[in-house]
Amino acid sequence: DIVLTQSPGTLSLSPGERATLSCRASQSVTSSYLAWYQQKAGQAPRLLIYVASIRATGIPDRFSGSGSGTDFTLTINSLEPEDCAVYYCQHFGRLWTFGQGTKVEIK
């Protein structure tokens, strides 16, 4: 089974800075089935990015996804206080798999 490893575990940045979140797959995966989610405390997860780089409906363009093969990245440009959350990557292959998450803290 494919394992998704996210890094770093926690990212602490100031408003206006850029956040770069990594998701590494244990073997090459198809970008068509790589997604990113945001989960704020006490809320349901929200789909941010699907097919590795397509923003979901209503997602601000400061969120972008990239990557292929085993290495994928979620970039948040110009961080805002409301971006404080845990971010998960997810892949669909034989079954569905989530990474362990990256917590983004705003200083």
Partner 1 sequence: EVQLLESGGGLEQPGGSLRLSCAASGFAFSSFAMSWVRLAPGKGLEWVSSLSDSGGSTYYADSVKGRFTISRDNSKNTLYLQMNRLSGEDTAAYYCARAASGSFDYWGQGTLVTVSS
Considering only CA atoms, give the Rg of the chain.
13
What does the per-residue mask of binding to partner 1 show for 15-44, with x meaning CB under 8 A? Answer: -----------------xx-x-x-x---xx
Minimum distance from residue 7 beta carbon to partner 1 (Å)? 13
CA angle 100, 3, 69 (to 5 degrees): 110
User: Quick check: 45 binds partner 1 (CB under 8 A)?
Assistant: yes
Question: How many other C-beta atoms are found inside a 10 Å radius of the C-beta of residue 62?
Answer: 15
User: Quick check: 63 binds partner 1 (CB under 8 A)?
Assistant: no
Minimum distance from residue 5 beta carbon to partner 1 (Å)? 12
CA–CA separation, 11 and 18 (whole Å): 11
> Based on CB atoms, which residue is closest to partner 1, 8 or 15?
8
CA–CA separation, 12 and 49 (whole Å): 22
Minimum distance from residue 34 beta carbon to partner 1 (Å)? 8
User: Quick check: 88 binds partner 1 (CB under 8 A)?
Assistant: yes
Query: 49: which strand partners?
Result: 36, 55
